[in-house]
Structure 1
């Protein structure tokens, strides 16, 4: 189908406006402090909106409604873990990072375990961000290709270049302020969609609840705990570990802590941004459930091509194109791109900061001038964005890009959380014990992530029997247990010898 010219204009004007708005921050006199932390000028509400926008990506915008459309609200349990993780963050993590006086999240690991820990964490963070940028760009392009026939590589390249331009030239201020704008756009777009669905029902909004309740669409999942099925407790534990990883060791979050004017504003922005995601994710799940009721009540409106589980992520974009008024459709498509662009810009800026602080300034040029440091930030932003675009185009044709992203992110980032918690919880764990713990944790993570892909058929008995979401949980716990056990053995041996 073709996108009406008015909707296309709305979409293109939005994309151009965001790029120009982001570039406008490049006209200010810039230092590395301005580029990385905004020079302490950023208001807490804008930082909070940026944290929220980092939570929401095109994966969330498309996958959450698709998930609710297919099954129930089990995935929403992930959001229910955020309050506990956020409270831990503002109590312990925010004060820790603001007291270190470093732009890097991984400076703490060097202080605690030595340079190897900082290099390991920063490199794996960069690998995670490249995979993330590529996955989001590709997953953003899929529904647009299916609905309009737009070229997947073209969408990936154009969207990627647009974000790279304003993230590279505007720095953290451009990222935060465009995130704030795009966060508002996607919330308004989602609310508009839900309102139209509810009041388009043949028997009124109440019919949505009647149909959905009959199909048990509001269930949060089984309360039985096992290691194989996606139960309430499994998703809750998984969400807690993922959010501890976000708040505790993700450069993009830590960079926002230190961008706030003071500790109070850092705490308020962290709570605002993280807790805002809870009602918004609920909104996305409700949209998916409402779409199920909508197309059950009016099945003739759903294209036969979209029947089946493999097309669930295309249901929401299909509704946007076929059911919304002209002009609103363009705004909603823009909001889908807004969700992806905000996350990508954050990844680019935080990655450039890591390259400058953890690598260039640490062991290439420790006394880099402002001019040299700014060149590194520009070049690093360009390179990370470019590699991410290449990764996005390389995913074209992959059987499951989302599965590939989950596997890569588990391997690249799973061990960093365990290492951070090991150093944070106990001051007695030594560097060599931490290294052994990380190696053991990565072996567990690698087996759980990759064995289902390689051990098939006659070899299927050797693959992991655990649910995929437990990868980061078991990997992190392995690192902690190995580190603590080795430390206890060392302490006992010392006591015996003395």
Structure 2
């Protein structure tokens, strides 16, 4: 990194932290600290909701996902707009009407304190893990590629978030999200056009997409019904719908964003904004990954993108075997560039040369085979090594090919994204702990200032927990998938509790409590035995919680009453 990169990186992050802390400090009561005095306009709600979901993992892993597997991951988000509509119609009006600080307060009013506590604890487990991951993900990759100390990176990112989140609460989170989303989107748009500019002059965007399509990178839609396929239209609409419904409707890190809206209408408009923009944003980020793939058709890429694994090999007896694979890849890269240029020249004459098309695909398949051989060597040396290097692809491109200044901006994008989602997580964890656990069970009358101070202390506590988890975390598979897997294990059960609370009045407290508890254990077991793709865990969890609680109510707790299903 050059001096200009350090200046851009440091000044951007310092400005965000200082602005958030100074602009919003001095909350006088719980409503101001947790709900931002309900003064947030709809567009800020929308940006804050998007920033909460758009963690650093999104901008590190998503382009790498597209580089290796193409655009199919966008199907994961197909259920999100539908979920936004349901939440706007049902969830938001009820939350605002009851004037709750957390989503789980509603559960005590509908059921009892133990159901509220169960949902709160499930949320704190999965959001605590998730917040640690949002800090750990950028830290481990930045430390690997830049040589920075991993624990120091975790500490720096965590402390920056803690400073303004403790100081200003929800208002600080909302205010900083605006700056963070501006930095994030500006950085990604500039990067896209830089990649286009770096492609050969003969290659326009249409031809670049043609090359990507020839290598199966533009297969957006998969209509198969195979439950083992991770991303299909059906898993996206069904599983993605349930995950989005649970995440945006019951996860306090998101609920708190729109509970701070000026009115029901402002909160609804903010969520609709997210529903309209989220899929196009993810499509664009995936497209950047596809363009990185096209870029590497004309430039040399490493045999393996994770430098830690490469170093392990270079210090082993398999070093020569690995170097032979690198030599083969280098020779193949020259052939690939030559064939790709010939193919482009044919495309410019409106002729799709099938022979060149097939040779280009064959070369890329050969490259994939060489990379698989490299992974086999890494696994031979270290069985515990994570050979999936998708998370390192985009950052490798940033560090090795972007001009001075842009490296600092893109690193600021990654760290800003980590801060935005981490801040929402800490803010929600602290609010849930203070309101749903501490306030519910503390004895005696306490002042408003007391609960503000307690919430600040819990923010600090969860910040330390997240940093500690990040310091002992282990990278496995693709990070964006890991975060979604963690969510899918827990979200379905909580969503089932809320769907029963909203729509099935027949089911009472005892039935839903035991039904949800059994359901959560069952979902963890289903995930453990890998019976289905993780996206289906959301559907299974929500459905199982409803069915089990219904049966328990019917058979054990109130078998004399007939079912009465009505809309909230």
- TM-score, normalised to structure 2, is 0.80
1:220 aligns with 220
1:474 aligns with 2:534: no
Distance 2:236 2:410 in 1: 29
Report the alpha carbon displacement of residue 68 of structure 1 after superposing the two structures with TM: 0.9
Alignment match of 2:494 (pick from 397, 402, 416):
416
- Residues 135, 402 of structure 1: 8 Å contact kept: no
CA contact (8 A) 1:71 1:217 kept: yes
Is contact 1:104-1:357 (8 Å) kept? Answer: yes
- Mapped partners of 1:465, 1:396: distance in 2: 23
Superposed, 1:407-486 pairs within 5 Å as 408-450=486-528, 463-486=529-552
Question: In 2, Cα distance between the equivalents of 1:412 and 1:62?
Answer: 24
CA contact (8 A) 2:42 2:261 kept: yes
- Consecutive unaligned residues in structure 1, runs of 5 or more: 451-462
**Residue 98 of structure 2 contacts residue 106 of structure 2 at CA under 8 Å; is this kept in 1?**
yes
Native 8 Å contact 2:76 2:235 kept in 1: no
CA apart distance, 1:402: 6.2
Out of 175, 198, 209, which is 2:173 matched to? 175
2:78/2:233 contact within 8 Å kept? no
The whole-number CA distance in structure 2 between the counterparts of 1:149 and 1:157 is: 16
* Deviation digits for residues 24-52 of structure 1 (CA, Å, limit 9, x no counterpart): 13444532211111112222211210001
Q: Establish whether residue 47 from structure 1 lines up as the match of residue 48 from structure 2.
A: no
Deviation, 1:220, is 2.4
SS across alignment from 1:199: helix
Preserved contact between residue 212 and residue 289 of structure 1 (Cα < 8 Å): yes
**In the alignment, what sits opposite 2:367?**
none
| CA distance in 2 between partners of 1:22 and 1:174 (Å) | 5
Distance 2:261 2:214 in 1: 47
Query: What are structure 2's unaligned runs of at least 5 residues?
Result: 306-370, 373-386, 563-568
Q: Which moved more, 1:224-233 or 1:10-19?
A: 224-233
User: Considering only aligned residues, what root-mean-square deviation do their CA atoms show, in Å?
Assistant: 2.1
2:549 alignment partner, SS class: helix
Q: Deviations over 1:364-423 (max 9, x none)?
A: 046320221121011011000010000000115668766765554444443211111122
What is aligned with 2:267? 266
Other-structure match for 1:458? none
Residue 535 of structure 2 aligns to a residue whose secondary structure is helix
Counterpart secondary structure, 1:467: coil
Distance between the aligned counterparts of 1:30 and 1:491, measured in 2?
45
**Who is 2:251 aligned against?**
250
Distance 1:418 1:495, change over 3 A: closer
| 1:342 is the counterpart of 2:420 | yes
Distance 1:205 1:26 in 2: 45
Bigger CA radius of gyration = 2
Match of 1:97 among 95, 98, 102: 95
| SS of aligned partner of 1:433 | helix
Bigger mean CA deviation after superposition, 412-421 or 74-83: 412-421
Look up the SS of the partner of 1:310 in the other structure: coil
Q: Is the 8 A contact 2:5 2:409 kept in 1?
A: yes
Q: Which whole-Å deviations, capped at 9, do the CAs of 1:262-287 have from their partners, x for residues lacking one?
A: 11111111111343222211111100
User: How far does residue 254 in structure 1 lie from its aligned partner after superposition?
Assistant: 1.9
| C-alpha contact (below 8 Å) 2:27/2:452 kept by paired residues | no
Q: Give the aligned length.
A: 480
Taking the TM superposition and a 5 Å limit, the aligned residue runs for 1:99-138 are 99-138=97-136
- For 1:36, the equivalent position in structure 2 comes to 34
Q: Report the Cα offset of residue 304 of structure 1.
A: 3.3
Flag the 1:283–1:265 CA change in 2: closer, same or farther, 3 A. Answer: same
